Amino acid sequence: MAAESRDLSLAELIDFRWHRLSFPCVVDRANGRWPGQDVIVGEPSEQYSPLREEPALFQKFALLEDSEAALLDFAARYGYLGFMHGGVSSYGEYLSGWRRERLAMAGAVRLFDALKSGTALSVMGSDVVTRPVVGMTGVYLPADLSVWLGHINVETLIPGVEGTMIPPENDPVAVVPRDSSERLIVQTALAFLVRYSMTHYSVTPSITPDGKVYGAGLRLTFEPKTLIGALWLQLAFTIDGNREYAKCTECATWWDKTGARRDKEVCSDTCRAKKSQRLRSAAETMRGASDANE
């Protein structure tokens, strides 16, 4: 481990490995274990290290289009999520479960983005809902996230009514003092989501060797057991370090933009060279075209 000169990020400390999926497809298990449920199934294939190879995988997942094709493509590249029975089931995973997991992650990422950009007010009423609760303010999550949490049944939702509709008897996920700022309310909701998912998916505190020769050479870290746990852990690391990931305009790789100049758009020197080459030849083509017109 080449760790002498710098501190490893928490994600780099963990060698969490997971399997990609060969030929994932959606099957209707009408006659099987879960009647009438669409299930994603595939054959676990090549191993990879999600936390080391894809530091912004949670963001990729959150931004997926809500379509069968997009979810299957993600499953092929990164494998099962592992949200059922605390691990990978040979029966596959509910497609509806994939949708719910993605909605939950997308909701958490929106809260984080709103906090970072100082626009907590913009998610109030949509991603976070408040109601008075005996002299305090109750913090609620919208209906799709409440279904994900198991706080309400999908059957109690009115089809076609989305977002803020939560049955009145539903409990808040947290209560805060009545005069709390929007920022504190959104922080509280995000903290709840991260705490709930890390606990629910058994992301476990641990200490691990950090490769240093002084001290005990150990650092506090967390170990995921499933891909979905690893994704929430990644989000937690990102929140803790106020990190920012951006998609490279040249190669579409997600790169760590934390501390980089605002206008920097590419992931590496290679892509910077590629970009200036591309701009140069575009300029030459333009010049060629205007010459021909004279």
Residues that bind Zn ion (CB under 5 A): 248, 250-251, 253, 267, 271
> In the bound complex, what is the minimum distance in angstroms from residue 267's beta carbon to Zn ion?
4
Q: 56 vs 230, which CB is nearer to Zn ion?
A: 56
| Rounded Cα gap, residues 235 and 159, in angstroms | 31
Tokens of 6: 């710098």
Q: 21 vs 271, which CB is nearer to Zn ion?
A: 271
Q: 49 vs 253, which CB is nearer to Zn ion?
A: 253
Selection from 62, 133, 67 nearest residue 103 by Cα: 62
In one-letter notation, the amino acid at residue 89 is: S
Alpha-carbon torsion (243, 244, 248, 254), positive or negative: positive
> In the bound complex, what is the minimum distance in angstroms from residue 268's beta carbon to Zn ion?
5
Residues 28, 36: contact at Cβ < 8 Å? yes
Helix (H, G, I), strand (E, B) or coil at 143: helix
> In the bound complex, what is the minimum distance in angstroms from residue 260's beta carbon to Zn ion?
13
**β-strand 129-133 against 38-48: which pairing, if any?**
unpaired
> In the bound complex, what is the minimum distance in angstroms from residue 104's beta carbon to Zn ion?
29
Burial class (CB in 10 A: 0-12, 13-18, 19+), 59: buried
Residues 39, 93: contact at Cβ < 8 Å? yes
Q: 56 vs 185, which CB is nearer to Zn ion?
A: 56
> In the bound complex, what is the minimum distance in angstroms from residue 272's beta carbon to Zn ion?
9
Q: Return the number of other C-beta atoms located less than 10 Å from residue 187's C-beta.
A: 18
Residues 44, 19: contact at Cβ < 8 Å? yes
> In the bound complex, what is the minimum distance in angstroms from residue 247's beta carbon to Zn ion?
9
Phi then psi dihedrals of residue 74, to 5 deg: -65, -40
> In the bound complex, what is the minimum distance in angstroms from residue 77's beta carbon to Zn ion?
18
Q: 196 vs 254, which CB is nearer to Zn ion?
A: 254
Q: 47 vs 258, which CB is nearer to Zn ion?
A: 258
Q: 225 vs 272, which CB is nearer to Zn ion?
A: 272
Strand-pairing partners, residue 133, are 136
Q: 85 vs 262, which CB is nearer to Zn ion?
A: 262
> In the bound complex, what is the minimum distance in angstroms from residue 56's beta carbon to Zn ion?
13
| Rounded Cα gap, residues 127 and 283, in angstroms | 45
Selection from 130, 109, 134 nearest residue 121 by Cα: 130
